[in-house]
Amino acid sequence: MFQAPYPPYDPTDTSGFSYDTVVKRWPIILTNIIDHVHRLLHDMTLEIQQVRDSDVSKTEELSKKITEGQEIISEISRLKYRMARDHDLENIPQDGDILVAEYNAELESLKQTSRDTWFRAPWLYAECYLYRLIRAYFNQRTYWRGYDPFSTQKEEMFKNSGAAIYQIATTMHELESEKVKLQGDSDKLEVLFKEMIQMCLWGNATDLSLLTHLSPSDIEHLQTVGKEAQEARSDFILKDDQGAVWSYIKTLANQGKRLDFVLDNAGFELFTDFVFADFLVTYTPYFSQVVFHPKLFPWFVSDVTPTDFANTISSLLSPTFFPPNPTTTPDSLAHLQHMVTRWKDYIDKGIFTLATDISNGQKMTEFWNGPWPYWNMNELAPELGQWLSGSGLVIFKGDLNYRKLAGDVKWPVSTPFPTAIGPLAGSFPLLSLRTNKADVAVGIDEKVAENLDNKGDKWRTSGKYALVSFLPGRINQ
C-alpha cells in the first residue's frame, strides 16, 4: 500500500483548519442535528394530542418514535461532550450497514500509535468516521433506520438557488438553436466548454458543511453565472488545466465514450453537474453516456445520496418547488422544464445512470463512504478501479474528493499533482474540480502561494479559490 512521505493533517496543529473544525464546525453540525430531531419530536407530540383517542396504534407508534428520537439526541449530546474533551473514538457499533469492520480496523491501527482520539486522529479519518457514526445512531433504531438528518437542510438550500438555476436554464435554451453550428465549430465549442466547466467548478463553492462561515450574500455571489462573473473569478483558479483537459477531450470524437462523475453536493452543485454532463452529451460528439456516483449514506452534510438524486429531478420538474422570484419569467420556467425533461429522458434511456443502478454498482459505490485516501483504490476496491479504468474521463467533484485524491497529507504546494495522487496516477483520465475548503493543495506556483500567505489570505480554506487539475489516463504517453 502506498504511503506518502508527509504526515496527514490533524488537529494537533492548533493554528490549522482541522483544529478549527473539531473545535467549532463539528459541534455546530451536531447541534443542528439535535435541533432538527427536537423539532420533529415536538411535531410528533402535537400529533399525538390530535389523534390520541381516535387512533391508538398511531399514538403508540409515535410514542415509540419519540422515545427513540430522545435516545438519538442523548447519544449525539454525549458525542459532543466526548469530542470537546478529546476522548477516544469508540468502535462503530454493528448496525447491519456497510463498512463497520473497515472503519473499526482503521481505528484499531490508529490505537496502536495512540492517535485514536478526536484531537489526535488524522482529520480525514475522523471526519469520515463522524458521518459513519451518525449513521449508526439512526440505524440502530427501528423507526429511524436509514433516516437522513440533513435532507431538510439540503432541500431548503436548493430552494434558495432558483434565480441562478433559471438563468442557467435560459442560457442552455439559447444554445439549442446553435446546436448544429456548434458541432462543426471547435473554437466556439472550446469557449463554451470553458464556461460550462467553470459553472460546474464554482457550483462546488456552496456546500452546506461550510455554511458555518459563509454568509447568504457570499453564497449568492458565488452562484452568479454568466461570462463576466466567471471572468472576474478566473484569477482565483490557482491551478488551471482547462486547456489540457479540452485538448484531451477533443481526441474522443465519435467513440461512444463514457463519462464518470464522482459527485459531491446535492442541490445547486448537482444541478451544475447535470448541466455540464448534458452539455458534453447533447452538444459535443465526445461522450455518449454518463454514470453518476453518489454516496450510500448521508455524508459531509450535503453530499448526494441516491434519494437526493431522484428528488432533484422531480423538484426541478415541479413548477412550484422554487419560491417566486422577481427574475423568474414564464419563459425561464419553460426552459427549465424542457431541459430537465431531456435529463429525465436520458435517465430512462440509460444515457444518464446512477452508479447504484448498474450491476455490481452498490458494491462499487461503497468505497466513496470509506475513510481512505484514493491512492490504493485498485487494491481496496478492485471492482471500482476496474470500472473507472474503462472510462473516457472521471470527474471528481469537490473538496473532499480532492483531499482523498491527495491523501490529505502535508504535501508542499509545488508538488506535482500526479505525485500527490500516488499510484492512482495514470489509472484513468482524471479531472478534479475543487474549490479550496481544506488545507491540502498541490500543483501551485510556490510564489503565488507565498504572496497569498503574506497577505494573510485564507486561500486554502475560504472556498473562494479553486483548482482545476487534470491527468490523462496513461502518463508519459
Which residue ranges make up the site for ligand F6P (CB under 6 A)?
A: 21, 127, 204, 207, 209-210, 264-265, 300, 398-400, 403, 437-438
Residue whose CB is nearest to Mg ion in the complex, by number: 300
DSSP characters for 393-452?
EEEEEHHHHHHHHTTTB---TTS-HHHHTGGGTTSS-EEEEEE--SS---S--HHHHHHH
Q: Which does 241 bind (CB under 5 to 8 A by kind): Mg ion, ligand F6P, none?
A: none
Query: Closer to Mg ion at the Cβ: 171 or 401?
Result: 401
- The Cβ-side half-sphere exposure at 288, using a 13 Å CA radius, reads 8
* Residue among 341, 303, 345 nearest 148 (CA): 303
By beta-carbon proximity to ligand F6P, the closer residue of 208 and 290 is 208
Residue 437 binds which entry of Mg ion, ligand F6P, none, CB below 5-8 Å type-dependent: ligand F6P
Adjacency order of strands within the sheet including 466-471: 237-240, 466-471, 430-435, 393-397, 257-262, 287-293, 352-354
**Residues 6 or more apart whose Cβ sits within 8 Å of residue 26:** 83, 127, 130
Which residue carries 383517542 as its cell?
Answer: 53
Q: What is the number of alpha carbons within 13 Å of residue 148 lying toward its C-beta?
A: 21
Compare residues 21 and 284 and give the one whose CB is closer to ligand F6P: 21
Smallest CA-to-CA distance from 29 within 207, 210, 214, 152 is with 210
Output 165 or 210, the one with its CB closest to ligand F6P: 210
Minimum CB distance to ligand F6P, residue 373 (Å): 13
Of 251, 262, 333, the C-alpha closest to 291 is 262
Asked whether 133 and 300 are in contact (CB, 8 A), the reply is no
C-alpha cell at 418: 500526479
Write down the least CB distance from residue 399 to Mg ion, Å.
7
Kindly state the smallest distance separating residue 269's Cβ from ligand F6P, in Å. Answer: 8
CB nearer Mg ion, residue 122 or residue 398: 398
Indicate the helix (H) or strand (E) that contains 143: none
Q: Which does 204 bind (CB under 5 to 8 A by kind): Mg ion, ligand F6P, none?
A: ligand F6P
Report the distance separating Cα 348 and Cα 369, nearest Å: 27
- Residue 140 site contact among ligand F6P, Mg ion, none (CB < 5 to 8 Å, cut-off depends on kind): none
Nearest approach, Cβ of residue 260 and Mg ion (Å): 17
The site partner of 394 among Mg ion, ligand F6P, none (C-beta below 5 to 8 Å per kind) is none
Q: Which is nearer to ligand F6P, 370 or 392 (CB)?
A: 370
In whole angstroms, the minimum distance from the beta carbon of 48 to ligand F6P comes to: 37
Q: Which partner, ligand F6P, Mg ion, none, binds residue 127 by CB below 5 to 8 Å per kind?
A: ligand F6P
C-alpha cell recorded at residue 320: 412550484
Least Å from the CB of residue 303 to ligand F6P: 7
Gap between the Cα atoms of 239 and 236, Å rounded = 9
- 438: partner contacted, choices ligand F6P, Mg ion, none (Cβ within 5-8 A by kind): ligand F6P
Nearer to ligand F6P, 41 or 266 (CB): 266
Query: Which distant-in-sequence residues (6+ apart) come within 8 Å of 310 by Cβ?
Result: none
SS3 content of the chain, % helix, strand, coil (to 5): 55, 10, 35
Least separation, in Å, of the C-beta of 121 and ligand F6P?
Answer: 14
Closer CB to ligand F6P, 102 or 264, in the complex: 264
Provide, rounded to whole angstroms, the least separation between the CB of residue 295 and ligand F6P. Answer: 11
Interaction partner, residue 210 (Mg ion, ligand F6P, none; CB < 5-8 Å by kind): ligand F6P
Q: Give first-to-last CA distance, the chain, whole Å.
A: 25
- CB closer to ligand F6P, 65 vs 437: 437
CB of 230 vs ligand F6P, minimal distance in Å: 19
248 binds, among ligand F6P, Mg ion, none (CB under 5 to 8 A by kind): none
Name the residue nearer to Mg ion (CB basis): 300 or 322. Answer: 300
Binding site for Mg ion (CB under 5 A): 207, 264-265, 300, 303
Nearest approach in angstroms of CB 299 to Mg ion is 7
Residues 6+ apart with CB under 8 A from 268: 157, 158, 161, 164, 165, 203, 206, 223
From ligand F6P, Mg ion, none, interface partner of 102 (C-beta below 5 to 8 A by class)? none
